[in-house]
Structure 1
Amino acid sequence: MKWLQIALKDIVTELYRYPSFYGMEHLDSGIPVIRGEHIMDDGKLSQEWSDYWFIDPNIDSQYPKTKLIEGDLVFSVRGTIGKIGLVESTHVNANISPNLIRISPNRELIVSEYFWFFLRSSIGQQAIRNITSSTTISSIQASTLKRVLIPLPSLSEQRRIVEILDQADVLRKMRAEADAKAERILSALFIKMFGEPSTWTDANTKTLGSLVNIQSGGTPSKKNPDYWDGDIPWVSPKDMKQDIIFDSIDHISQKAIAETNIKYVEPGAILIVVRGMILVHTIPIALAANRLTINQDMKALYPNCNDIDSTYLHAVLKASSRKILSQVGTAGHGTRKFDTDELLNLPILIPSQEQLKKFQIAVTECRASLAGISKTKEKLEKLFDVLLRRAFSGELTAKWREAHMKELLAEMEEQAKALNLRDNADPQQLSLL
C-alpha cells in the first residue's frame, strides 16, 4: 500500500506570485522584500537585514497576497531557481519579490516543515524536474508547480518524520559550523606569515592589476536548451561557497562555448564575485580546480608573473576581503557591485621566493588535513539524503506507524474528507504502507 500522492495545488491555500515591485522606491526601513538570494543553504531565510531592501508599508498594504505568514514556503523561480525557504516568525509580514512564489500550505492537510523538507529533498527536486521535463530546473511557472505530486501521510506521521529530520539536521549544522572554523585556518596561516594587509607599505606592494590578467564571464541564452545540455561547469555566485571549486550546479555544452562569447576559465584561476546582494557582507573568492566557465557576475584572475602564484593570490585576496568589501557600491534595483578598476588597484604584498615556497608547502599540508574533514561532510550529506529518501518512501516511520495504526487510520479518513476524496478514492489508497 502507498500513501496518497496529491497534486500540490490540492494541499495549499495560496500559490501566489506578484508581477513586480521594481520601480518602487527602495527604503532603508519599512517592509522587507525577500528575494531568492535570501534563501540560505539550510532552507532558512537570511537574518542579515542589511541584505534586504524595503518598501513603504502603505504600498505594501495594496498587495496583501504577497505578505508572508509563519509556516509559508517561498519558492525561487528566477536566479537561484528551485530553492525553497521556510518562513519563520522573524519574517512574518515581510514581502516577496517577483522572483519568488509564495506557497501557503493547508494546515489541515500538511505540516509546513514536512512540505519544506520534501521539496528540498532530492526526491522533491526530481518530482519538480519530472513536471518540467528537464534535467535541470532552469525555469518554472506557478501553473507548473501546481502539478507536482506530494506524498501525503497522516498529520501525526508527518510530525514524526519532521521530528526525526530536525534531529538529523542539527547534526549537519554542527558539522557545518566546525567546517567553517577549519577553513579559517588558512587565513590565520597567511596573517601569521605576512601580517595584516593594513600593515603593508607601498615599498613592498604592487597593484593587483600589475600582477594578473582578468577575464569576464557570461550567460548563454536560456532560450536555447542545447546550450544547457552539457557537462561543462558554469559557475555562478550560488556555487561560491567553497575555497576550491571543482564543479557547479549548472552546466553548459560545447555548443555554448562555440557559438557565444563564453570562454573557458583554466585551472588555477582565482574566481571572485563582483555583483550581487551577497556583496553586502561577503566577497566570495575561490580557486578554480578544474577547467570551467563563469557567469557575468564574476571575474577570473590569473597571475601573469613570477612574483606570486595562484595559491598566494587566493590567500591574499581572502585576507584583503574587508578592504575589497569597503569598495562595494550599488547598481540598479539596489543590487551591489564593485568597480573592476578599484579591484585592480588593490595593493598586494610581494613575498620573497623563499617565503612563497614555504607558504605553498604549508598550504598543501593544511589542505590535505581539510580534505579529510570535507570527506566526512560528504558522507554526512549522503547519509542525510538516504534519511530523506526513507522518510518520503515510508520506510523511516514504518515501525512507529504499526504502533499507531488505529489513530492514523482515523486521521487519514479525515484527510480524505478534507480532500473531497472520500466518495471517489480507492479505499486501498487510504490504507497505510
Structure 2
Amino acid sequence: MKEKYDLVKLSDICEIKSGGTPSRNEKDNYDGSIPWAKISDIEASNGTLFTTEETITEKGLKAIRNRIFDEGTLLFAMYGSVGKMAFTEVKVSTNQAILGINIKDQSKLYDRYLYYWLLGKKNEFLYLANGVTQKNLSATFLRNVKIPLPSIELQRRIAEILDKADEIVRKRKGSIDLTEQLQKSIFLDMFGDPVTNSKGWEIKKLGDVGILERGKSKHRPRNDPSLLGGEYPLIQTGDVANSKGLIKSYTQTYSEKGLAQSKLWKSGTLCITIAANIADTGILLFDACFPDSIVGFSPSTEVTTEYIQGWFDFFQPILEANAPQSAQKNINLNILKNLNVMIAPIKQQVHYSQVINSLRKHLEKYEKHLQESENLFNALLQRAFKGEL
C-alpha cells in the first residue's frame, strides 16, 4: 500500500549556496591550501570528495566572498553534468557551477535520503535544464523543488535499502575495472613494457605487419539523409571510443547509396580512431562501414589483432598527447604506418589472444550482472519515493 508524504520546498529545510571562481589573471589567487572543487572533481569522486585538482589561497577565497562549505556538505552540479553529486569529506570551496546543500535540521531530513531523492530526480532535472551548448539548472530552480518528507525513521530505512543496492552496483563496477586493468598486466607480464621494449623484441613498422586503410565517406554532406537508414552498420569514432575493445553495437546505418560511396569492412577488423578521439581501438564483431576518421587494420601472419590492440593501449596516451591540433586533434595514416612495433614470437601472441578473449567472456558476464544490479537499484529508487518500500 502506498504511503503519502508531505511535500516540502527544499529551501525550507536546506541551505543552498553556490561557489565562485577567483580571477585567473591574479596568480596569487591559486595554489594555496584551500581545496577548490570543479565539476570534474565531483565526477572523479565516486560520491565522496576527499581532494580537488586545484586549490586557492586566502586571497582567492576572499575574492569569492568567502564561499566555503563544511565537511559533510552535499555538492550538486548545476552545469554540464547536471545532477552529479558528492559528499565532501573536507572543508572545500567550489566554482559557481556547483551548489553546496546543507540540511538545516538533521532531525527532519536525513542526508542520504536527500542524496537518493536528488539522484532519482536526475533525469527530470536533465529534461528541465536549459542550455544549447551545455545543460544547466539555476540555484533558484533547486531551491523551489519540493521533496517528499516522511518520518526521519522511514527516511533512514529507505536510505539503508538503497545503500545496500548501491553497494552491489559498486562491487560489480569494481570487478569490471579490475578485469580491464588485468588485460594490461597480462600484456606487460608476457611481453614487457612496449614503450621501452624491455624484452628486446624485434622492431618493425606497423605498416609492415598488416594492412592499414582509412575509412571511406566520399559523399558531401556526410549526413545526407539519402545515405542513411539502410541495413549496413555505420561505425563512428564515438562507437570505437566507447567500445571497451569490442565493437558490439551501432547506432547508424548506411543505405545502398551510402554503401556505394563507402566500404564494408569485415568482422575482426581493428578500428583505430585518428580524429577527435586519438588512437582509441575496437575490434569489429560484425561487418561495418566507417568514415575516414577511422583506420582499419588487418594483421599479417606476424601479429594477432589482440596483440596490436594491447600494444595500442600503452601508446594511445602518447599518440594523443603529440597529435597536431587545428579545430580538433588528429593524426594521419602515415603516422600510424611508421609507428615502431615490437614483434614478439607469434606463438606467444596467439596465447595472449586466447587469454584476452577468455577474459572478455568473463567481462561480458560481469557487465550483464552489473546491468541487472543497476536495473534493480533504479527500480528501488523509483519505488522508494512513491511510498512503495
Task: Provide TM-score, normalisation by structure 1.
Answer: 0.61
Match of 1:138 in 2: 135
Separation in 1 of the partners of 2:284 and 2:84? 26
Deviation at 1:289, TM superposition (A): 6.2
Q: Deviations 1:190-235 (Å, cap 9, x if unpaired)? A: 2344332231558414379x986799xxxxxxxxxxxxxxxx9995
Separation in 2 of the partners of 1:182 and 1:160? 34
Deviation at 1:315, TM superposition (A): 1.5
Alpha-carbon spacing, 1:271–1:245, altered in 2? closer, same or farther (3 Å): farther
Deviation at 1:18, TM superposition (A): 2.7
Counterpart residue type for residue 176 of structure 1: K
State the secondary structure of the residue aligned to 1:30.
strand
Separation in 2 of the partners of 1:116 and 1:158? 11
Q: Is the 8 A contact 1:200 1:349 kept in 2?
A: no
Deviation at 1:358, TM superposition (A): 4.9
Over aligned residues, Cα RMSD in angstroms? 4.9
Residue 385 of structure 2 is aligned with which of 383, 388, 392?
Answer: 392
Which consecutive unaligned segments of at least 5 residues does structure 2 have? 216-234, 255-265
Counterpart residue type for residue 312 of structure 2: L
Separation in 1 of the partners of 2:339 and 2:150? 57
Count of residues in Structure 1 that have an aligned counterpart in Structure 2:
341
Task: Provide TM-score, normalisation by structure 2.
Answer: 0.67
Residue 364 of structure 2 is aligned with which of 371, 388, 391?
Answer: 371
Q: Is the 8 A contact 2:79 2:134 kept in 1?
A: no
State the secondary structure of the residue aligned to 1:80.
coil
Counterpart residue type for residue 18 of structure 2: Y
Match of 2:102 in 1: 104
Matches within 5 A, 1:345-424: 347-350=340-343, 358-396=351-389
Deviation at 1:389, TM superposition (A): 2.1
Separation in 2 of the partners of 1:54 and 1:100? 15
Match of 2:224 in 1: none
Residue 39 of structure 2 is aligned with which of 33, 36, 40?
Answer: 36
Alpha-carbon spacing, 1:100–1:245, altered in 2? closer, same or farther (3 Å): farther
Matches within 5 A, 1:274-313: 287=282, 302-304=295-297, 306=299, 311-313=306-308
| 1:154 paired to 2:151 | yes
Q: Which has the higher strand share?
A: 2
Separation in 1 of the partners of 2:275 and 2:82? 19
Alpha-carbon spacing, 1:214–1:394, altered in 2? closer, same or farther (3 Å): farther
Separation in 1 of the partners of 2:4 and 2:141? 24
Separation in 2 of the partners of 1:77 and 1:234? 29
Separation in 1 of the partners of 2:247 and 2:105? 41
Alpha-carbon spacing, 1:2–1:61, altered in 2? closer, same or farther (3 Å): same
Which consecutive unaligned segments of at least 5 residues does structure 1 have? 216-231, 255-265, 276-282, 294-299, 330-336, 397-433
Q: Is the 8 A contact 1:303 1:313 kept in 2?
A: no
| 1:165 paired to 2:162 | yes
State the secondary structure of the residue aligned to 1:75.
strand
Counterpart residue type for residue 367 of structure 2: S
Deviation at 1:151, TM superposition (A): 1.9
State the secondary structure of the residue aligned to 1:204.
strand
Q: Is the 8 A contact 1:81 1:137 kept in 2?
A: no
Separation in 2 of the partners of 1:374 and 1:187? 19
Counterpart residue type for residue 164 of structure 1: I
Q: Is the 8 A contact 1:190 1:315 kept in 2?
A: yes
Q: Which has the higher helix share?
A: 1
Deviation at 1:60, TM superposition (A): 0.9
Match of 1:316 in 2: 311
